[in-house]
C-alpha cells in the first residue's frame, strides 16, 4: 500500500471506530462495537509499524493534507510530519491503546456505557495521533484540545458521581489555563515567523534568536517568551507544578483510561511538544532553566505525596506526576531523546501498573483502598507477577526498561550547567529513593503480608445504595453552596464504596484473560525495551534531524563518550548511588510496612504537621478553590449585581427612563386644562415680552 495512504489510515481508522461505536453503538451492540473499535486500532497499529519500518529506512514526510484556512497571506493546513520522533510516538500510542481496548472488554463488562466508552477511547486515539503527527502549530493545538476534551469526557464517564463531575470540570479548566499560555505562544510564533509550519519556523528560528518581544514595557527575548508560553501549555497537559492539581483527581475515571490517558499518552503530550520544539528551546537557556526547575519541583514534591496515599490508583497517579517531572527535567537538560526514551518506557510500565491496579480493583470487587488488601499474590498470580515487573521497572532496577531511561536522565542532569541544575540533580536523585519507597509500600501492602480483605471495616460499613445516595445528595447540596472543595476527598473515598468491596469471607480472584493478557503483553516491553532501545535511541543518532541540540548543551555528548553498551551501563550502575537509593527505598518500605507496621503510625503521630501538609497536598486545592474559583465566583456576583444591575441598568437605563418620567411629571402640571391658567400664562408672557422689548 502507498505509504501516504498509511499515514491517513493511522489516525482515521480509530476515528472511524469511534464514530461507529459512538453513533451506532445501540444498533451494533456490545460485541460488534468492541470488535470494530479494536479492529480499527489494530489496523492503526499495523500501519504505525509499517511507517516505523519505513522511517527506519531513512524516509520522512512533511506535507499538507488539506488547507484549513487562508488569511492575510498565511495558509493554515492540516498536515503530517512523519519523522523518527513521530514514528516512536505513533507506535507507543497505538500499541498502548490497543492493549487498553482489549483490557476494557473485561473491565467495563458490566457497565451500561460500554459502547460509549469504546467510542471515547478510540476518539482519544485519533486525537492523540493528530497531535503527534501534526506538522504545524494549529493542528498541534487541535490535537491538544481534542485529547483534553476526551479526557474530560472520560474522567466524568460515571457522570452520576459528584466527585467525577467535579474532577472532570477541574481537569478541563486547569488544562485551559495551560492552553491560555499555549495559544499566546502560538500567536507570537505566527507574528514572528508569519507561518505556523514547523519546518518553516525552525528553519528561520536562528535569525530571530535576539528579537525582543513587544510585551508591554517588558523587554523579553522573543524566543524565551515563546518557549515559556508554549511550556505553560505543557505544564497543563503534562501536569507540571503548579498546574498538576487535576491529575490526581482524574483518577475518578475508569481505570483503563487512567492507564491510557493519564499515564501513558496524553500527559506526555507536553514532553513530546517540547521535544518537537527543540530547535526553539535550544536557543533559550532561560526557558530551559525554567523547564528544568519546574520539572524538578514536580519530580520531588509529587513523589512525597505518593507515600501517604491509600487509594491504589492515587499512589500510581502521584508516581506518574513524579515521573513526568523526570521527563521535564530531562528536557531542561537538553536531553530530549532521553525524555522521549523515558516517555516510551514509562508508557509501557505505567500502563502496566495501572492496568494491574485495575485488575486488583476488579479482584477486590471495586475496593481501591490498599489498607483493605494484602496477600493478594496467592489469589491473583498473574497480576502479582506483572505488577512486580512494573514496579521494578518504575524504580529503575538495572536491566529493566525504567532503569535505562531514568539513569540516563540523572546522568544528563549531572552534566547540565544551566542555573537550577544543582537543585534538579538533587531532586532526581532523591526522587529515586522516594519512588522506590512508595512503589514498594503499595506493592507490599497489596500483594504481601496479612490478608486484610473481607473484614468488616469501620469506614466501609455502608455499602447499601441508600447511603450511597445520601452521599451523592450531600455532595450535591455542597456543590450548590459553592464550597465543594473542602470535604471533597472524603467523598471520593466514601463514594468508591458505593461499589461494594469484598464481603466477609469472600476471596479475591484472578481476572479473565482479556484483562490479564494485556498485562502480560505490556510486561514484555517493560522489561526489555530499555535494553534494546537505549543504544540506538540515545546514542545511535536515532532521531537525526527531528531533535536539535545546541553545541554548548553537551550533556548528551558527554554521556555518549562514556557509553559502552547497554549491558555495561546496567552492570556499572550496581555500584552507583541511584541503585543504592532504590535498594534502600525498597528495604525501608519492607521494614516499615511488612516488618514493623507500628513505626509508620508512630511517625505519623510524631510528625502530624507534615502528615497534614501532605494529606492536604500542600494545600494547593484549597488555595485554588478559595482564590481562583471562589474569586471568580465572587467577582461574577459582584459585577453582575453591581455593574450590570445597579450601574448600567439601574442608573443609566432605567435611570434615564425615570428622569424622562420625572421631567414629564413636572411638565405635565402645566397642562392643567383650566382655561384661566393658560390665559394667565399668556398674559404674563405678553407682558414679559413687551417689557424686554421696551427695555432694550
- Closer Cβ to another protein, 576 or 656, answer by number: 656
- Grid coordinates given for 508: 479475591
- Closer Cβ to another protein, 173 or 520, answer by number: 173
Contact 228, 139 (CB under 8 A): no
Counting contacts by CB under 8 A, is residue 249 touching another protein? no
Counting contacts by CB under 8 A, is residue 42 touching another protein? no
Counting contacts by CB under 8 A, is residue 672 touching another protein? no
The region of 149-157, 237-245, 282-290, 568-576 touching another protein under the rule CB under 8 A is 149-157
H helices of 481-606, in order, are 488-496, 513-534, 555-562, 566-573, 577-590, 598-606
**Minimum distance between the CB of residue 533 and another protein, rounded to whole angstroms?**
33
Counting contacts by CB under 8 A, is residue 473 touching another protein? yes
Counting contacts by CB under 8 A, is residue 149 touching another protein? yes
- Grid coordinates given for 171: 481537569
- Closer Cβ to another protein, 102 or 472, answer by number: 472
Q: Which of 3, 184, 429, 550 binds another protein (CB under 8 A)?
A: 184
Q: x/- site string to another protein, residues 186 to 205, per CB under 8 A?
A: xxx-xx--------------
The candidate with the shortest Cα–Cα distance to 40, out of 121, 113, 106, 111, is 121
- Closer Cβ to another protein, 571 or 638, answer by number: 638
**Minimum distance between the CB of residue 234 and another protein, rounded to whole angstroms?**
16
Count each helix (H run) and each strand (E run) in the chain, helices first.
29, 4
Distance CA 89, CA 71 (A): 32
- Grid coordinates given for 442: 503499595
Counting contacts by CB under 8 A, is residue 532 touching another protein? no
**Minimum distance between the CB of residue 68 and another protein, rounded to whole angstroms?**
6
Counting contacts by CB under 8 A, is residue 183 touching another protein? yes
- The residues, ordered by sequence, that sit 6+ positions from 617 with a Cβ below 8 Å of its Cβ are 245, 248, 305
Distance CA 154, CA 238 (A): 17
Q: Which of 32, 173, 307, 584 binds another protein (CB under 8 A)?
A: 173
Counting contacts by CB under 8 A, is residue 261 touching another protein? no
**80 beta partners:** 63, 134
The region of 33-41, 134-142, 352-360, 560-568 touching another protein under the rule CB under 8 A is 134-142
- Which residue is associated with the grid cell 471515547? 120
Distance CA 410, CA 428 (A): 6
Q: Which of 2, 58, 71, 675 binds another protein (CB under 8 A)?
A: 71
Cα within 13 Å of Cα(661), Cβ side: 6
From the CB of residue 39, how many other CB atoms can be counted at a distance below 10 Å? Answer: 14
Distance CA 542, CA 47 (A): 20
- Grid coordinates given for 333: 537538560
**Minimum distance between the CB of residue 145 and another protein, rounded to whole angstroms?**
5
The region of 210-218, 263-271, 304-312, 608-616 touching another protein under the rule CB under 8 A is 210-218
Cα–Cα–Cα angle for 349, 350, 355, nearest 5°?
100
Q: Which of 141, 348, 404, 440 binds another protein (CB under 8 A)?
A: 141
Cα–Cα–Cα angle for 71, 74, 75, nearest 5°?
90
- Which residue is associated with the grid cell 552507583? 576
Distance CA 324, CA 262 (A): 11
Q: x/- site string to another protein, residues 153 to 172, per CB under 8 A?
A: x--x--xx-x--x---x--x
- Grid coordinates given for 438: 512508595
Counting contacts by CB under 8 A, is residue 226 touching another protein? no
Counting contacts by CB under 8 A, is residue 213 touching another protein? yes
**Minimum distance between the CB of residue 605 and another protein, rounded to whole angstroms?**
39
**Minimum distance between the CB of residue 346 and another protein, rounded to whole angstroms?**
27
Cα within 13 Å of Cα(380), Cβ side: 32
- Closer Cβ to another protein, 39 or 183, answer by number: 183
Distance CA 175, CA 236 (A): 5
- Closer Cβ to another protein, 148 or 363, answer by number: 148
Contact 142, 130 (CB under 8 A): yes
The region of 6-14, 180-188, 396-404, 617-625 touching another protein under the rule CB under 8 A is 180-188
**Minimum distance between the CB of residue 496 and another protein, rounded to whole angstroms?**
16
* Parallel/antiparallel/unpaired status of strands 74-82 and 61-71: antiparallel
- Closer Cβ to another protein, 83 or 145, answer by number: 145
How many residues sit close enough to another protein to count as binding (CB under 8 A)? 61
Q: Which of 58, 73, 505, 673 binds another protein (CB under 8 A)?
A: 73
Residue 5 to residues 2, 80, 122, 471, Cα–Cα distance (Å): 5, 12, 20, 52
**Minimum distance between the CB of residue 72 and another protein, rounded to whole angstroms?**
3
Distance CA 667, CA 497 (A): 74
Cα–Cα–Cα angle for 13, 17, 20, nearest 5°?
140
Counting contacts by CB under 8 A, is residue 692 touching another protein? no
Counting contacts by CB under 8 A, is residue 464 touching another protein? no
Counting contacts by CB under 8 A, is residue 216 touching another protein? yes
- Grid coordinates given for 329: 527535567
The region of 306-314, 400-408, 471-479, 573-581 touching another protein under the rule CB under 8 A is 471-479
**Minimum distance between the CB of residue 274 and another protein, rounded to whole angstroms?**
20
Restricting to residues 632-671, name those near another protein by CB under 8 A. 632-633, 635-637, 639-640, 643-644, 648-649, 652-653, 657
* Burial grade of 505 (CB within 10 A; 0-12, 13-18, 19 or more): exposed
Distance CA 696, CA 689 (A): 11
**Minimum distance between the CB of residue 314 and another protein, rounded to whole angstroms?**
22
Counting contacts by CB under 8 A, is residue 587 touching another protein? no
Contact 435, 394 (CB under 8 A): yes
Restricting to residues 50-69, name those near another protein by CB under 8 A. 66-69
Torsion of CA 665, 668, 674, 677, to 10 degrees: 90
**Minimum distance between the CB of residue 295 and another protein, rounded to whole angstroms?**
24
Counting contacts by CB under 8 A, is residue 8 touching another protein? no
The candidate with the shortest Cα–Cα distance to 131, out of 116, 115, 147, is 147
Residue 65 DSSP class: E
**Minimum distance between the CB of residue 2 and another protein, rounded to whole angstroms?**
23
**Minimum distance between the CB of residue 75 and another protein, rounded to whole angstroms?**
10
Contacts with another protein by CB under 8 A lie at 66-74, 138, 141-142, 144-146, 149, 152-153, 156, 159-160, 162, 165, 169, 172-173, 176-177, 179-180, 183-184, 186-188, 190-191, 213-216, 469, 472-473, 476, 479-480, 632-633, 635-637, 639-640, 643-644, 648-649, 652-653, 657
Amino acid at each position: 500500500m502507498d505509504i501516504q495512504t498509511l499515514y491517513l489510515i493511522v489516525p482515521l481508522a480509530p476515528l472511524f471506530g469511534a464514530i461507529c461505536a459512538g453513533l451506532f453503538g445501540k444498533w451494533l451492540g456490545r460485541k460488534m462495537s468492541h470488535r470494530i473499535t479494536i479492529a480499527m486500532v489494530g489496523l492503526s497499529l499495523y500501519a504505525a509499524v509499517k511507517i516505523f519500518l519505513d522511517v527506519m529506512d531513512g524516509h520522512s514526510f512533511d506535507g499538507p493534507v488539506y488547507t484549513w484556512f487562508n488569511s492575510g497571506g498565511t495558509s493554515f493546513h492540516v498536515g503530517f510530519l512523519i519523522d523518527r520522533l513521530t514514528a516512536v510516538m505513533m507506535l507507543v500510542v497505538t500499541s498502548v491503546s490497543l492493549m487498553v481496548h482489549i483490557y476494557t472488554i473485561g473491565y467495563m463488562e458490566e457497565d451500561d456505557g460500554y459502547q460509549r466508552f469504546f467510542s471515547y477511547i478510540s476518539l482519544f486515539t485519533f486525537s492523540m495521533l493528530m497531535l503527534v503527527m501534526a506538522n504545524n502549530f494549529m493542528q498541534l493545538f487541535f490535537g491538544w484540545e481534542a485529547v483534553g476534551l476526551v479526557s474530560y469526557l472520560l474522567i466524568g464517564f460515571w457522570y452520576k458521581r459528584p466527585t467525577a463531575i467535579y474532577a472532570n470540570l477541574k481537569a478541563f479548566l486547569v488544562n485551559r489555563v495551560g492552553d491560555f499560555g499555549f495559544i499566546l505562544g502560538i500567536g507570537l510564533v505566527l507574528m514572528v515567523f508569519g507561518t505556523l509550519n514547523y519546518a518553516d519556523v525552525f528553519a528561520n528560528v536562528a535569525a530571530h534568536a535576539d528579537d525582543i518581544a513587544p510585551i508591554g514595557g517588558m523587554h523579553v527575548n522573543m524566543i524565551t517568551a515563546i518557549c515559556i508560553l508554549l511550556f505553560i501549555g505543557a505544564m497543563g497537559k503534562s501536569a507540571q507544578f503548579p498546574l498538576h492539581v487535576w491529575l490526581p483527581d482524574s483518577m475518578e475515571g475508569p481505570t483503563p483510561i487512567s492507564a491510557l490517558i493519564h499515564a501513558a499518552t496524553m500527559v506526555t503530550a507536553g514532553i513530546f511538544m517540547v521535544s518537537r520544539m527543540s530547535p526553539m528551546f535550544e536557543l533559550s537557556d532561560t526557558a530551559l532553566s525554567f523547564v528544568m526547575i519546574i520539572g524538578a519541583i514536580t519530580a520531588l514534591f509529587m513523589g512525597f505525596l505518593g507515600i501517604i496515599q491509600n487509594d491504589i490508583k492515587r499512589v500510581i497517579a502521584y508516581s506518574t506526576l513524579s515521573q513526568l517531572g523526570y521527563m521535564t527535567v530531562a528536557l531542561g537538560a537538553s536531553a530530549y531523546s532521553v525524555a522521549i526514551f523515558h516517555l516510551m518506557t514509562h508508557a509501557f510500565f505505567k500502563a502496566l501498573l495501572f492496568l494491574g491496579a485495575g485488575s486488583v480493583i476488579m479482584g477486590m470487587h471495586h475496593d481501591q483502598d490498599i489498607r483493605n488488601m494484602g496477600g493478594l499474590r496467592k489469589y491473583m498470580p498473574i497480576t502479582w507477577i506483572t505488577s512486580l515487573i512494573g514496579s521494578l521497572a518504575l524504580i529503575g532496577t538495572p536491566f529493566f526498561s525504567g532503569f535505562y531511561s531514568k539513569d540516563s536522565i540523572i546522568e544528563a542532569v549531572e552534566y547540565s550547567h544551566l542555573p537550577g541544575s544543582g537543585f534538579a540533580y538533587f531532586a532526581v536523585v532523591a526522587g529515586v529513593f522516594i519512588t522506590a519507597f512508595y512503589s514498594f509500600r503499595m506493592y507490599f501492602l497489596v500483594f504481601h503480608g496479612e490478608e486484610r480483605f473481607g473484614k468488616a471495616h469501620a469506614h466501609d460499613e455502608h455499602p447499601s445504595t441508600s447511603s450511597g445516595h445520601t452521599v451523592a445528595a450531600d455532595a450535591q447540596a455542597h456543590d450548590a453552596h459553592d464550597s465543594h472543595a473542602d470535604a471533597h476527598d472524603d467523598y471520593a473515598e466514601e463514594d468508591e464504596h458505593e461499589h461494594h468491596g469484598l464481603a466477609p469471607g469472600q476471596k479475591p480472584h484472578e481476572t479473565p484473560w482479556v484483562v490479564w493478557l494485556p498485562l502480560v503483553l505490556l510486561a514484555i516491553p517493560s522489561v526489555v525495551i530499555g535494553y534494546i532501545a537505549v543504544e540506538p535511541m540515545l546514542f545511535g543518532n536515532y532521531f537525526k534531524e527531528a531533535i536539535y541540540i545546541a553545541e554548548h548543551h553537551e550533556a548528551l555528548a558527554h554521556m555518549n563518550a562514556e557509553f559502552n553498551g547497554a549491558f555495561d551501563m546496567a552492570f556499572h550502575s550496581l555500584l552507583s548511588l541511584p541503585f543504592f537509593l532504590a535498594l534502600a527505598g525498597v528495604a525501608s518500605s519492607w521494614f516499615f510496612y511488612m516488618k514493623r507496621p507500628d513505626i509508620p503510625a508512630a511517625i505519623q503521630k510524631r510528625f502530624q504537621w507534615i502528615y497534614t501538609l501532605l494529606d492536604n497536598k500542600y494545600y494547593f486545592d484549597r488555595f485554588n478553590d478559595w482564590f481562583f474559583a471562589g474569586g471568580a465566583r465572587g467577582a461574577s456576583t459582584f459585577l453582575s449585581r453591581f455593574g450590570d444591575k445597579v450601574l448600567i441598568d439601574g442608573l443609566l437605563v432605567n435611570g434615564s427612563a425615570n428622569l424622562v418620567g420625572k421631567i414629564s411629571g413636572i411638565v405635565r402640571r402645566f397642562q392643567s386644562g383650566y382655561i384661566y391658567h393658560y390665559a394667565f400664562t399668556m398674559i404674563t408672557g405678553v407682558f414679559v415680552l413687551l417689557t424686554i422689548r421696551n427695555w432694550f
